[in-house]
A and B are shown apart, each in its own frame.
Chain A
């Protein structure tokens, strides 16, 4: 009889893990809390650093999982994984229990809620938007202010909810810098002639072709980079946004008027993941993400045998890393099920 593996979460990590497990001949069920699979990828119009369409990656997943023997259970929240007599029991919010030989947790991340940085005025000033809101504008093909006008001056604030002790997140979310660079270029593309300014603490361009895109943003698109963390945002009498920052390289405070301000929201452990961790007894780190058994050679293993992690539920990851991490989780599952005597 085929071994049954349950995957929790239908974003890129979960879909990848489920798809690879099916290929390896397992009976796989995928639980997704939303109506459809895809996760955050559904919201993203284009991806960094090559600016390919997000839908291309979704198409890859369509080929990977559709038409296969995969059971997808949508609109279902998993709350707990229990152990009983050598197998695992996955309980949904409705109290229905499913038995599995192994479980892959792929609950991903939540975007930082920018309202928590009140001084930036999100949901107070209409033209302060988040990176996700801007992506939605790109999807619609219309970058416009709340007054329906074309923005002439747009700012990007890096590190919103990341590297910030005041919101309890000491870690770097890693993807926001490159997302800002990508979106800055796209603003220039959508609205030629717009001036774009990125306010950063450090430009963390660690991925493949990130630094090249940063250079392209300066060289070909004329995006301006100002080193300083924005301290506060206010509104002028004619409804324009006023940003206060220190231009640390010039060594003087700087004030700027903008038509639109984009907050680069960081990544946090998902609420669903937090609940799952506490009810199941899974270890989490100081950063609140799931804490793998070993950060070097056991990044897919949890503290409970038979439960594995895939993707951004363990730390901020881009899609490439997520896919690699999910495949590695599958390798661990295969290893585990081969050794177990069930």
Chain B
């Protein structure tokens, strides 16, 4: 276990140190202390290492992550795991806006609640939120899965493409072109896997699936009204 004091050594040194870790590194476990809500902690990592941040983080923690597993022992500011490519990010507390925005792959687990625009423009990432998500979540979501064990706010899945949304609780409102869909056996299997990966003991059968009605896929002036 390597311990890095962010307050003492600074952000640039932290990220450059983590960037230097190669695929074959034997320094696979890192602990970051004194994060104090700093922005851009552990961004752009590309090695199979495990990073644990002891405290809350600011904006864009774990941005564009590849391969690494990043644990936040606190809450995460806006844009946690934005544009993640692979690996995993686990937030013990709550996440602010844009959690998992534009993520291409990997798994983001938020054990508390996520604020607005969770999974906005997601492109393949899997997001499991143990609590609730705020308004405009999964806006223009292209692909991947968003699991919400609590409730969803207004305009869920507005202008959604092919992402799958699973919500256990209530949905305040659905966004444009987002509809409730049939939960077939293959969806239950996908959801069971997601819940297991997310460390969530909820039952797949308790969820409702939402997705695209695909009515905005080709240009029609009536859609502008």
- A and B co-occur in one complex: no
